[in-house]
Chains A and B, each alone.
Chain A
Amino acid sequence: MGNIRKQLLGYFLQEASEHLATLEDGLLRLEKDPSDRSMLEELFRSAHTIKGSAALVKLNTTSALAHRLEDTFEAIRDGLISPTRELVDAMIFAMDNIKDQVQRVSNGEEESDAVLASVEHSLKLAEEGYAVQHAIAAAITETPSNEPASTEAEATTTTTTTTTTTTTPAVTSEEATHDTGDTLHVSSSDSDRQITIVEKPKPAFHAERPATPTLRPDTMHHLASGGVIKISSDKLDGMMNVLGEITITKNHLMDQLTVVERLRSEIDFAGQRLLREVNNFSERYSYSVPESVKYKDPLLSEFMELEFDRYDEVNLFAKKLQEITNDVNEALRSLGNFFTRFTGDVGTLDGMIAEMKERISEARMIQAGNLFQRFTRTVRDLSRQAGKPVRLLVAGGDTPLDRVVYDGLFEPILHIIRNAVAHGLESEDDRRKLGKPPVGTIRMSARREGNTAVIDIRDDGKGIQFNRIRKRAIDQGLLDPHEEVRPKDLLKFIFMHGFSTADATDHTSGRGIGLDVVKDRLAALNGTLSILTKKERGTIFRMRLPLSLVIINVVQFRVGKQFFVVPSNLVVEIAEIANTEQRLDGTVHIRDVAMPSVDLSTVFRMQSDSTQPSKFAIVTRVSGTKVALRVDEILSQEDTIIKPFGSFLRELHYYSGTSISGSGMLRLVINPSWIVEGGEKHDEEMLSGAMDESRKPSVLVVDDSLSVRKFASTLLEAHDYEVRTASNGLQALDVLDEHGADLILTDLEMPVMHGYELLGELKRRGLLDTIPVVVLTSRGSEQHRIKAFDLGATDYLIKPFEEESLITTVQRHIKDHQTV
């Protein structure tokens, strides 16, 4: 059985058990009150669903049985026949047989089509008004003889449901007993009027035969125990919330622990001092003869002194003090041991809470593929409406997304897709003229980067048309017609409320939701949106979102006297910056890289802590670009729950909510994208790689040999390529994260992460679709070549290489990828 079928079967078994429960419940209600038709539609639908999904997993008997039952429901619904008690019995008989088949499949056995005839027969008789009991009785006795070859396996699973009004149910079942060689016992089921005849499992001496399934009511239990249960997401959310509270209490405990640790060392220190002093004291006085005793009575001088006589009160006190101190010392040592163990336990608890969070988060996760799948139909419809052929490609469908993210992303993605079809993709004719494939492509890909999910929606259309944005901005009075604006500054306009470049509202776009809303939705999910667009090559909308929304890891910091937190997934790095490092234009230099910065005390109009010689920079990624947020102090990193604002404050976009610390302190959760972009700073790089039309194509050379890197760089730079280098796969991934690349040239044998691993990782991230990878290696064997191509390499060059062949290969692949 293939893996896919196995998975499908799992889904079917889960679904079937639910629908069988519906059938059972409905039939029993129908039996009680034949005039109650309210559940008929539901019964019909359940039978119909079982039929369809059973056929999908090639369970033909189950499907046929459900089909037959569906026909009967339909006939009742349409008023052709009425649900007599006999008919209900026959239907229950049919349902039990479906259950039986499902149970077999669940146990890994094959279906048995022997029951088809008897079910058909009993339903037919009942429909025609005959007493069904005879038919069922006959069916039980006939089944084995009808199917002699499979007597043992099949007959063991026959079940019948009948009523107490039945004339001779016991006789019937006994007949069955003789035929199958099994023992039967009669047990009453939920309904008083009903007796279910259930077969006993095989006795021990039949152990060599396959175990016989126990049927109703245990059947449902068996079906449900297939390893899958359905649980309402509210329950998971509830668990997660409790866990959030536990996390906060745990944080409090951890805070207290440091206080206790300090107390402990203070006590320890004081204890040691006491001990030292007492020891000194005791040494001096325990055995010394007090002055008062030194005087000797001449009359007594010849007597030997008794030892006790030598001690006076001071000696005794010193002795006692030493004993007590020893006790204290012993207690201190125990206390120390206790604290060590206690700290260890709290640490373990911390670890377990983290794991619990991970597990519940996982349970809440939905694969990105499920989200993408919701758009296949949309893309098809949009393509028809717009009269442009479009295909949808999906990658990284197994990337997990939080359910809240999943729910919240549908509309933003829908909007982006509508835009792509309406404005991005050209008509078939235009595409032909441009030498593009006539069918436009929309690629949706998802990948995981640390605790962040990255979702790309990419089209291969004409890219964002800056002249149109410019024209519309001028029309709307947002831009001076004579003003020269850089393309990336023009992009800001498309995030403005009510800004659309579409000439008229049509089906595909202009439905009132704009990119401003998309961006706000993402901000509400603590995510960011960035756009990469190239003329005639298309646009990528990149969304970055935290993997879990309920419990989130945050960095706590201070500005002035107030405390804030920022979600860690938005933080790229944290650096300490001397006050002198801040330039007048607001840029800061972190490891020799200049980046725009925003002083939060200025944004929040707060009194900054000017006494400190240095500040901290929280480097965050806003719309794809790094921006440093200057704060007074970094305090801690912790897991916490973020409570979003209610509607009264929801539009205060500078924050995404509040978080309460372990000690009960309220902290505001900042929303960097709004702070940076709404904070009246305009020189920040809002959109990465935004439409730099004159940009040179870039090549990333990955090789552990310095000479190869140098040689390839010189060669490629001479041909007007921008070259970046990395000495192993891991470094290459960092460079890619930072700068991207139009082509990767990689060696196979490298330390840390070799070429195959790099290919695998690129594939996992869905980057192989967009970035061609050329392997450049000294390994010439076919086996290596095949492996590289299997992993998704675009080309394979062998060292030593000809300059010309390297250049033509690079040129060709970059060109190919530009047009596809």
Chain B
Amino acid sequence: MSTYDSAETGYNTGASSADSSYTQHTGDNVSQSVTGQEAHQFDLTCCCFSIADIEYHLRIEYMVEIADFTKVTVLPLAPEYVLGLANLRGEVMPVIDLASMKSIKRPPRNPVAYRLIVADAGGERVAFLAEGMPRLSSESCGEEIDVISFVKNYKVRIG
């Protein structure tokens, strides 16, 4: 993740923002609480989501879309953290369950409670499973998912 912790943005995990007035909005619908002038300077830099009560964020430039949970085709013999394959308008991508990566058991929920955060890792797409509604924010929250390194480090290795 360190590659993207560059000083130029200042919005890193746990780091205080350049403008302290924004920090207090973390967790709220931020756009409501900024004035017109502030909104002008305001940049949404992260997509924050959570799964099994752990928060993660994805830098906005790697995010493609937030999609409703669709039918996932099971991928036999894949590691547990690969939930399966999703077909979003003809584009097929693996769905990753960050909870099972941390060996946390998710309580079963209604599929409508889930969303898919579609990320682009250099032309290749992966989707992360998220519980509840993810939000776009100027503030990082929880653990950063650096998609490019993620794909490189956690790619499926069999045999």
Contact = CB atoms under 8 A, between A and B. Distances in A.
Contacts of A651: 155-159
Interface in B118-159: 121, 123-126, 151-152, 154-159
A648 B156 contact: yes
Nearest to A658: B92
A410 interface: no
B73 A666 contact: yes
B75 interface: yes
A605 B76 contact: yes
Given A646-B125, A651-B156, A660 B76 contact: no
B155 A648 contact: yes
Contacts of B87: 660, 664, 666
B101 to A, nearest CB: 13
Contacts of B78: 649, 652
Contacts of A605: 76-77
B98 interface: no
A667 B151 CA distance: 23
Contacts of A647: 124, 151-152, 155
B151 A648 contact: yes
Contacts of B77: 603-605, 652, 654
Contacts of B85: 658, 666, 668
A649 B156 contact: yes
B62 to A, nearest CB: 14
Contacts of B126: 646, 648
A499 interface: no
Nearest to B150: A648
Contacts of B67: none
A562 B158 CA distance: 21
Nearest to B82: A649
A649 B76 contact: no
Contacts of A221: none
A643 interface: yes
A668 B154 CA distance: 21
Given A647-B155, A668-B75, A660 B90 contact: yes
Contacts of A666: 73, 85, 87, 92
A674 interface: yes
A124 B104 CA distance: 86
Interface string B74-100: 111110001001010010111000000
Chain A, interface SS category: loop
A341 interface: no
Contacts of A648: 94, 121, 124, 126, 151, 154-156
Nearest to B158: A652
B124 A652 contact: no
Nearest to B125: A646
B73 A678 contact: no
B158 A654 contact: yes
B94 A653 contact: no
B158 A678 contact: yes
A513 interface: no
A58 to B, nearest CB: 50
B98 to A, nearest CB: 14
A497 to B, nearest CB: 9
B1 to A, nearest CB: 18
A471 interface: no
B74 A562 contact: yes
A79 B33 CA distance: 72
Nearest to A520: B159
B159 A653 contact: yes
B124 A646 contact: yes
Contacts of B94: 648-649
Contacts of A562: 73-74, 76
A650 interface: yes
Nearest to B86: A666
A643 B85 CA distance: 13
Contacts of B154: 648
Nearest to B126: A648
A651 B77 CA distance: 12
A606 interface: yes
A653 B92 contact: no
Which of A648, A651, A653, A658 has the most chain B CB atoms closer than 10 A to its own CB? Answer: A648
Interface-central residue, A603, A643, A649, A666, by most chain B CB under 10 Å = A649
Contacts of A649: 75, 78, 82, 94, 155-156
15 contacts: A562-B74, A604-B77, A606-B76, A643-B92, A647-B151, A648-B156, A649-B94, A651-B156, A651-B157, A652-B77, A653-B158, A654-B158, A655-B75, A660-B90, A678-B158
Interface of A: 562, 603-606, 643, 646-655, 658, 660, 664, 666-668, 674, 678
Given A649-B75, A654-B158, 4 more contacts: A604-B77, A646-B125, A647-B155, A654-B77
* In the complex, the 9 A-B pairs of residues with the closest C-beta atoms, listed nearest first: A604-B76, A646-B124, A666-B73, A666-B87, A652-B156, A648-B155, A658-B92, A648-B151, A651-B157
